[in-house]
Chain A
Amino acid sequence: MSARELFTFRNPYFSAGVGLAAGLFVLTALGGFIVLPYAQTELKFAGLWDAICSAAGLPQRSASVPTAKVGPRLSEAVLTPTMLARPGQESIGRGATLAQRCAICHGPTGISRADSPNLAGQYASVIYKELLDFRSGARRNAVMSPFAVDLKDQDMADLAAYYAYLPRLPAYHPTPQLPRPRIVIYGAPVRGIAPCGSCHGSLDNKTGSPWLEGQSEAYLKAQLQAFASGQRTNDISQQMRNIARAMTPQEIDEAAAYYASQPAEIVKTTD
């Protein structure tokens, strides 16, 4: 029993096995790399090699395809769940100093009296990402944008650390807690809307998604409407735009009112 006896074309099993396998591979490769690309009349190729490269999955820009229209600036923030975890005392202290100029809208304790977001105890990654987006122009606001323009990355990280460090306090104008509306509990699976809590904290938190409890109703509603109309575009992969577009105006009202009426203390901590 030797390999020489087996691996020779005199062995009918070897020649049949190798012949059939090789033949099939060549045949299917011809089909997959040449026949099929040309069978799709909407695809245009510069030549045979171009067609083969396209079928092999080599990324290329075809000259015949017009480049995508330049849309609004998109968020360039790259976040990982552990990026801003465990900041040093120095970072928090620097953040506290920098935060003095935020207090006019966001409140000296991070609780707003002006329908701006409450920042006390917000996830650090959220504050960091929004500041980055305001600076890059991916998110725009007449009041907020000028504040972010001159911030350095380290300033933003320090601000994020400081606000995440502050204790969560009751909102300034608390309303009686409302029952959870259907859209918040279940979302609307058929319309592709997940329950709010699957990203915003009560079930799970996805990096970059804020907790919403106790935020201003007017602010929440305005943001949902801005996402729905496409005014706000700094949600990566259009996550929030897709959801807000599919929500009815009534559902937007209900969700905003519900979250505004919740105490911020119930939000899960970050670690």
Chain B
Amino acid sequence: MLVNRKLVLAHFWLAFAVFGFALFLGAWQMFVRSPLYTWISNPEWYYRSLTAHGTVMGYVFPTLVAMGFGYAISESALKQPLVGVRWAWTGFWLIVAGSVMAMVPVALGRASVLYTFYPPLIGSAFYYIGVVLVVVGSWIWVALMSINLRVWRREHPGEPVPLAMFANVAGSYLWAWTAVGAALELLLQIIPVALGWRTTIDAGLARVFFSWTLHAIVYFWLMPTYIAYYTIVPRAIGGRLYSDTMGRIAFILFLVVAMPIGIHHTFADPQVGAGFKFIHSAFTALVALPTLLTVFTICASVEIAARLRGGRGPFGWIAALPWDNPIMLAVAFSFVLLGFGGAGGLINMSYQLDTTIHNTQWITGHFHLIFGGAIVIMYFAIAYDLWPHLTGRALPTLSLVRAQLWLWFVGMIVTTFPWHWVGILGMPRRMAYYDYSDPAISPQAFSVTLSAIGAFVLLISGLLFLYILATAHRQPATDAGAYRFSVPVHPVRTVPLALNSYAIWVALMIGLTITNYAYPILTLAARSDTSVPAVYVGAQ
């Protein structure tokens, strides 16, 4: 039962529109810093574009997808109209206002600080306030998801929460808590300086605050993708979910262990003690658990579908899968990209191995592979799956959809594999210009060129995606029926209270944040000698 289709469509369309815009910037950046182009001469243009690309792709796009998908899940999984529709629109418009407010100073070159802020670099206050508005808008969504679940529980006491909604609310709680780090950084450190109330900033403390957000935000991006794995894929390919319990445990694990690991982003920072770096490194290893559980469960679910379709033998069933089904294709691509990205992630999380690739192009390659690859390809799948239910019209042609997914998959590999490679060779990230005529880096010119070509393949795929969604609105009307989620092999009748609620897990999430973050933050905050003069963007 999807009542507020306009609300969901508004979130998705805004998300995909800004995604298309940021995709252009990304391809342009890949082009101008590749050997295919001489040089833009003014690196400021590059950083301006990079800031816009990162801010849109990191904050606006995935947040809107999670919100739109979250509203759709709340209505169709709980089978009740959304409570607080007016608030949901308020959240949406806050994000619109925040995005415009942040993007204007970026476009004017007053906030070329990259989306990770990089204090003591300080840009226009409007940029940061815009980002805060985006986060506040998304917090309204967090509250609404919690309220809608509460309303449902009141009417269905003791019943198991549908897995899609359980995961959705887990994702929203994770986001609520992880965004606190960046919010503290912005409100306590950066915005007072950007407004001119202070001229010095504790860059080290600000970076620790940001690391609080920076890793768990990836798991917030990941949530819609994992929800799609568990609750869309088995149904879409005609199978059953292998285990509902496994799904709950995976989402609970994400909630608990995604938070206390962010300091692995500051392995090279002197202001954090080596002991805490080690603890965070070890805890980072734990996030492989929910992913491994998921890969196992989804492969098992897919096998069930294949055997139902007559697949035989230990591997013969793979051929029996519905490979012409876009969702099947998307999940296969997503798993391949997740596998490579996860393997690279093992290098990043290891305190010692990280030193070889820290701040190199490897890192950029890694997060594009995981986020742009494994995660975003499932955003496409979610949109394709939901679109007929939102528009009341079927998708134009499935062959175009398949071509789009193939292009994205190939494009992502062509873009990110050479990117990792030049990172191993030592090419630093965040640079607007490389002198390819220099003998030291001329051997990397080929890899960078290849990577830039991949970026254009991605751009074509992204535009094709927008084209498919847009033309779907003009198809003849059809009745897509009620939106359903996958059904587990064993019907879920009762679920232990612990796997049907969040109290223990939220408490553990906060507890581990305190054990792993309190000391580094408090000692830095208590010291008086750690602030440095702010460096204002464009100031002379």
A residues lining the B interface (CB < 8 Å): 1, 3, 5-7, 11, 13-14, 17-18, 21, 24-25, 27-29, 31-33, 36-37, 52, 54-58, 78-82, 123, 185-186, 188-190, 195, 198, 201, 203-207, 268, 270-271
Q: Which residues of B contact A58 (CB under 8 A)?
A: 273, 523
B residues lining the A interface (CB < 8 Å): 39, 41-44, 157-158, 196, 199, 256, 271-279, 282-283, 286, 431, 433-435, 438, 440-441, 496-499, 501, 503-505, 507-508, 511-512, 515-516, 519-520, 523, 533-536, 538-540
Bound-state Cα–Cα, A204 to B538, Å: 7
Bound-state Cα–Cα, A33 to B277, Å: 10
Q: Are A29 and B275 in contact (CB under 8 A)?
A: yes
Q: Are B512 and A11 in contact (CB under 8 A)?
A: no
Q: Which of B273, B503, B511, B523 has the most CB of A within 10 A?
A: B273
Q: Are A32 and B199 in contact (CB under 8 A)?
A: no
- Closest-by-CB residue of A relative to B511 is A21
Contact of A6 among B158, B498, B533 (CB under 8 A): B498
A267 → chain B, closest Cβ, in Å? 10
Contact of B503 among A3, A79, A81, A268 (CB under 8 A): A3
Q: Which residues of A contact B507 (CB under 8 A)?
A: 7
Q: Which residues of B contact A24 (CB under 8 A)?
A: 282-283, 286
Contact of A36 among B41, B272, B275 (CB under 8 A): B275
Bound-state Cα–Cα, A128 to B33, Å: 38
Q: Which residues of B contact A271 (CB under 8 A)?
A: 540
- Closest-by-CB residue of B relative to A57 is B273
Contact of B519 among A37, A56, A80 (CB under 8 A): A56
Bound-state Cα–Cα, A7 to B519, Å: 26
Q: Are B279 and A29 in contact (CB under 8 A)?
A: yes
B289 → chain A, closest Cβ, in Å? 11
Q: Are B256 and A17 in contact (CB under 8 A)?
A: yes
Bound-state Cα–Cα, A207 to B286, Å: 45
Bound-state Cα–Cα, A87 to B279, Å: 52
Question: What are 25 sample pairs from A and B whose C-beta atoms fall under 8 A apart?
Answer: A7-B503, A11-B497, A21-B512, A25-B279, A28-B282, A31-B282, A32-B276, A36-B278, A37-B275, A54-B274, A55-B275, A55-B276, A57-B272, A57-B276, A78-B533, A81-B535, A81-B536, A81-B539, A185-B41, A186-B433, A188-B435, A189-B435, A190-B438, A190-B440, A270-B540
A105 → chain B, closest Cβ, in Å? 26
Bound-state Cα–Cα, A270 to B512, Å: 49
Bound-state Cα–Cα, A203 to B157, Å: 65
Q: Are B503 and A186 in contact (CB under 8 A)?
A: no
Q: 5 tightest A-B contacts by CB? A: A57-B273, A55-B275, A32-B278, A13-B498, A81-B539
Q: Are B158 and A36 in contact (CB under 8 A)?
A: no
Bound-state Cα–Cα, A242 to B513, Å: 40
A203 → chain B, closest Cβ, in Å? 6
